[in-house]
Amino acid sequence: MLNVLTRAIVTLSLCAASLTVQAATVTTNEVALDAIFSQASFDPNAPNSIAPIDIRFLPTLRLDGPRFTTVDSSSVIVDGNDLGTEVAYLLQQPFVQFSATDRIYMLFVDSITACDGGGNNPSIVGCALINGNRILVQSDFASGTYGAELLGHEIAHNLGIGPHSSGGLMNATLNGETDLTAAQVRTIAQSPLIQNPQSPSPFLQIQPVDVYDGSTAVVPLPPAGLALVGALGAFALRRRRTSKS
Ligand SMILES: [Zn+2]
């Protein structure tokens, strides 16, 4: 298994150079996300709740992954080994580039059409692991009207919220709402991703990742971990407003 994972790494490489190639657009929506994660339900005086969380974006990483500018349900095969769908591969493989545990890696791609193993669905615009620390978002939606809502929804999944709610931020489809309930905030308060959780000013770091097609030679990198990140985790997704799921 370790050899499989090691070989799996060769399909992705980071590039720090500023290249004029096709790339997803990175839109952080930081101000709007700060508003979502400081709404009234973030009440430090309520039992098991937490103070408003400051969302902090780190400098954008650029990931040279020609195959992954569009992400779908096709299998990633390396040396004859099936490493899961493109979504599972990107969200779960222990890439050295995504090894920090004090942040969320938010991957911006041109298109995402799969998430939960149900095959391809063009209405899907975001996907995240529940209690994970990686997110996939479609960059045109991240830059649009529903951008902050989309990013906030996927962040909340990473922070531990599993089931979708009827209405509010955790509605399964984009609905123009960003409310989080007190119960959902209590779940968020338990996330190990929150920095300084007991302080009056907790914060959350997000590392944007621009997945681009550099069409360059890729550089093999060692795996960040020694084992696959557990069994296949629970995926959660966000669909376009027009999609009824
Ligand atoms: Zn969701």
Residue 107: domain span: 2-239
In a domain, 128, yes or no: yes
pLDDT at 80 over 60: yes
**Residue 222: what pLDDT?**
35
Share of residues in the chain with pLDDT > 70 (%): 78
Domain tally, the chain: 1
Length of the chain: 245
In a domain, 244, yes or no: no
CB atoms closer than 10 angstroms to residue 119: 10
* CA 128–ligand 1 middle distance (angstroms): 8
**91 close to 235: Cβ distance less than 8 angstroms:** yes
Q: Where does 93-245 have alpha helices with state H?
A: 139-142, 147-158, 182-189
* CA 146–ligand 1 middle distance (angstroms): 14
**Residue 119: what pLDDT?**
83
In a domain, 56, yes or no: yes
* CA 130–ligand 1 middle distance (angstroms): 9
* CA 216–ligand 1 middle distance (angstroms): 34
Report the candidate in 89, 93, 65 with the shortest Cα–Cα distance to residue 2: 93
In a domain, 222, yes or no: yes
**89 close to 134: Cβ distance less than 8 angstroms:** no
- How is residue 198 annotated by DSSP? T
Name residues whose C-beta falls within 8 Å of residue 65's C-beta, 6 or more positions apart in sequence.
11, 12, 13, 211, 212, 213
* CA 227–ligand 1 middle distance (angstroms): 27
The secondary element (H helix, E strand) that includes residue 36 is helix 30-36
**85 close to 75: Cβ distance less than 8 angstroms:** yes
Return the SS3 of 5.
helix
In a domain, 150, yes or no: yes
* CA 13–ligand 1 middle distance (angstroms): 28
Give the tokens for residue 166.
């009827």
Report the DSSP beta bridge partners of residue 109.
Answer: 138
* CA 170–ligand 1 middle distance (angstroms): 6
Chain centroid offset of residue 48 CA: 25
In a domain, 69, yes or no: yes
**With 0-12 CB in 10 A as exposed, 13-18 as middle and 19+ as buried, what is 241?**
middle
In a domain, 245, yes or no: no
Which pTM was predicted? Answer: 0.82
* CA 2–ligand 1 middle distance (angstroms): 31
Phi, psi (5° rounding) for residue 175?
-135, 5
Name residues whose C-beta falls within 8 Å of residue 198's C-beta, 6 or more positions apart in sequence.
none
Q: Answer with the residue of higher pLDDT: 223 or 125.
A: 125
In a domain, 21, yes or no: yes
**173 close to 239: Cβ distance less than 8 angstroms:** yes
pLDDT at 19 over 70: no
* CA 242–ligand 1 middle distance (angstroms): 15
* CA 172–ligand 1 middle distance (angstroms): 5
CB atoms closer than 10 angstroms to residue 221: 15
Q: Answer with the residue of higher pLDDT: 230 or 153.
A: 153
* CA 138–ligand 1 middle distance (angstroms): 14
State the Cα–Cα distance between residues 95 and 111, nearest whole angstrom. 21
Q: Which of 33-42, 175-184, 211-220, 229-238 has the lowest mean pLDDT?
A: 229-238
Question: Rounded to 10 degrees, what is the CA torsion of 130, 146, 179, 134?
Answer: 20
Question: What is the radius of gyration, based on Cα positions, of the chain?
Answer: 17
**Residue 82: what pLDDT?**
86
